[in-house]
Structure 1
Amino acid sequence: MSVVSARIEGNHTTVYDALDRLGSKHGTFDDSLREIVNIAETARFIDELDPAAPLTHSLIRELHARTVSHLIREGDPNPGNYREVDVAISNSQHTPPSWVVVHPEMTDLLDFANAERPLHEQMLQIAIAHHRFVWIHPFQNGNGRVSRLFTYAMLRRTIFNTRGGSALNPMAVFGNDRDAYISALEGADDLSERGTTAWIEFFATGISTDLQRLIRLQDHEYVSEELITPVLTSLARDGVISAAQAGALAIALQRGVVKAGDLEAVFPGSPAQRSRAIRTLVEEDLFQNSVEGPRFYRISLSRGPIAARLVRRLDTLGYLPKILADD
């Protein structure tokens, strides 16, 4: 989702490159990767907040400071501070309000965002707040990224807080069709009822569609049979992994977490031989240590040979936003 948010702003780092480079133990982050890291870490920061706590000026400024930290191309000359200059938005007919009224405009927005609404009105509230944030354009740079994180924070404290579940990160909705997203936002810039309603419909439809995808991904049988097993089959077919390794991965997929004794059928022989086979799986980023302890293992899905094909499989099944097509 962090890649999606950065891609909307013109960052062309692919999902797999981000996963691979973030998992590397060597090297430093360039500006493009740092932008993605900042968004991801800021989302984690939001996850640690009390979802019932009100959204404040200081929180919005903190989100901005974290999002643009140490960036050059997509940085801001005053991280964590509202703009003190008038600005224009590239390729947009909307002129943001003067910097003089940014603080009072943001006060009104935060009052609106924090207002208690019945559940059936909360999606409208969030959609309107997202548009108004971009409309105000409170920072010199980083407004799009921060607006999407702000929307994530709103989802946590409203709909998902009252339902007792984890919040849906809305980046996929915004990135599924960048042009449609920008067009829908701009259509509401005149603050007319027609434009605002069209934007709300775009936002709510996207959230609903993405929720259906996420519900499907919580079905272990579906994920196993339609997503991961085809990836493992293709790796074995292409000779990337051996038949024995494919068998070990299949067992790990079925059980979730395995230890050496669980793999005796595919790695026969002495315990030492089995340990060497498992060590090879770890070194090749096919297995990784599990939280249960150093001798417990699970499939490594986020890096190594599985990750690249997993991203392609997700794309085949329609889970990647269109902005990430062919990643």
Structure 2
Amino acid sequence: MIYNNPFNHMTPFFPSEQDGEIQELAVQVIQNSAKLSGNIHEISQKGIIKHLRIINSYYSNRIEGNFTHPIDIERAINNDYSKEPEKRELQVESKIHVDVQEIINEILGKDERDICSIDFITLIHKLFYERLPQDLRYVYEKEKNEKIEVIPGQLRQREVKVGNHIPPTHSSLNKFLNRFRDIYCINNLHGTKKIIGAASSHHRLLWIHPFLDGNGRIARLYTDTYMNSVIEGYGLWTISRGFARNRDSYMRNLESADLNRKGNFDGRGCLSQKGLNDFCIFFLETCLDQIEFMGSLFEFDDFIDRLEGYVFLRHKKMIPGKTPLKKEAFYLLKEAYLCGEFNRGEADRLTGLSKRTARNVLKQLIDDKLLQSNTPKGPVHFNIPVHAANYLFPDLFPSLPKQKLVIVKGH
């Protein structure tokens, strides 16, 4: 089927309102995410969200077949690249994903943008692809034995087929994307319709397939931006982790929502109502699963125990490659996490150490990026470097060898 009419061919735009399960799931996502956010100090959230951008990059790229470990992504952020060309290329892709997340955040922090507009969606693509090395900006078309350059921010200029799905013609993309914007613009939606709009628009953007390459990554970056705008606490959990861990279900549900309407009991649109309903249920259940997982990691007593256990392991020289920490370092990390930040001059009071020793412990924590500061002498706040993440947040991402958590109470 050739899709040229966005008013008919992209319908239905939302799951059926009669589906009470979807409404109930949407309410749970909103409430549970807000509860998770309320349990963590606002300043501490910033350090956690910064770390989770690396994790988000890891899982989003994993969906595309790039398995660059978060430790290697962090190395790339610090301009420490592998000497192996293939591994270096994957590091570059993953680092760019992190960079683009931060740039989008900065842009939205300065002025309001319509994130469903053609301008913003093409901006995401432009930000990603203009940072790629020139030799990574090509796709290969087997049938024509042709190498095609992907122009950053440019809508595709040819017809494509994605599995069994034939997206709209390239000449109709502007019409479809303008209709997409009219339907899913956040300002036009209210209540649970906003998060349901995030789910629906995630599929419909992939269905339109606006770019020659990178549609999956761009759709997930778009959805992260959308979710950040409508869900309190988003960023403390990310949906890409859930998609990657259930990749087969993710792809299967996307394909199901691509299908044309099946008979009189499958809605009144051109596409399958059941397919879209099922995808939205999968999307929202994935949200709940990730919120629950991250919530379990932030259970107060358990997290503080893991924080103390990490310092104990460092103190006992049980973490390879890391210098020992004084056990009193735990009190500084705990204070920063619970209170958001503390003044450097309080280090001796918090640890019970002499001023000089406390300053040295504080410096070591800053050097190890367990604490950070916005200015050289300003207050310090909690941070999560990747090298500590698997001890503090077990199962957040795959461990490297010998990275296992030991909880040590009473030390």
Matching residue of 1:188: 257
* Gapped regions of structure 1 (runs ≥ 5): none
Deviation at 1:54, TM superposition (A): 5.5
Residue 17 (structure 1) aligned with residue 72 (structure 2): yes
1:177 aligns with 2:246: yes
Alignment match, 1:262: 347
Which residue does 2:38 correspond to in 1?
none
Q: Are the equivalent residues in 1 in contact too, given 2:209–2:215 (CA < 8 A)?
A: yes
2:151 maps to 78
TM-score (norm 2): 0.64
How far 1:280 moved relative to its partner? 5.1
One-letter amino acid of the counterpart of residue 373, structure 2: S
| Contact 2:100/2:127 (<8 A) preserved | yes
| 1:105 has 2:185 as partner | no
Contact 1:128–1:200 under 8 Å retained in 2 = yes
Instruction: Give 1:7's aligned residue.
Output: 62
Residues 290-305 of structure 1: pairs in structure 2 closer than 5 A: 290-291=373-374, 293-294=376-377, 301-303=384-386, 305=387
**Cα offsets for 1:288-324 (capped at 9, x unmatched):** 4423643765666315x534544xx421xxxx3xxx4
String of CA shifts for 1:268-294, please: whole Å, max 9, x gaps: 6783x66556555555x2654423643
How does 1:199-278 map onto structure 2 within 5 Å?
199-216=279-296, 220-225=300-305, 227-240=306-319, 245-256=325-336, 257=342, 259=344, 262-263=347-348, 271=356, 275=359
Is 2:35 aligned against 1:35? no
Question: Of residues 224, 227, 230 in structure 2, which corresponds to 1:152?
Answer: 224
State the distance in 2 between where 1:236 and 1:152 align: 38
Query: So what's the TM-score if we normalise by structure 1?
Result: 0.78
The DSSP-based 3-state class of the residue aligned with 1:140 is coil
Q: Deviations over 1:164-190 (max 9, x none)?
A: x65664322322211111111011111
- When residues 276 and 40 of structure 1 are mapped into structure 2, their CA distance, relative to the original with a 3 A threshold, is closer
Matching residue's letter, 1:262? A
Q: Which residue of structure 2 aligns with residue 62 of structure 1?
A: 123
Give percent identity, aligned residues only.
Answer: 21
Structure 2: runs of 5+ lacking an equivalent: 1-55, 139-148, 260-270, 337-341, 401-411
**Counterpart AA for 1:146:** I
Check conservation: 1:286, 1:306, Cα contact below 8 A. no
Q: What CA distance in whole angstroms lies between the structure 2 residues aligned with 1:258 and 1:176?
A: 40
Q: CA RMSD in A?
A: 3.4
Structure with bigger RCO (C-alpha 8 Å, 6+ apart): 2
Cα deviation, 1:128-152, whole Å, max 9, x if unaligned, reads 2111111111101010011111212
The 1:51–1:325 alpha-carbon spacing in structure 2 relative to 1, beyond 3 Å, is farther
Query: Which deviations, in whole Å up to 9, do the C-alpha atoms of 1:234-254 show, x marking residues without a partner?
Result: 3444534677x2413212122
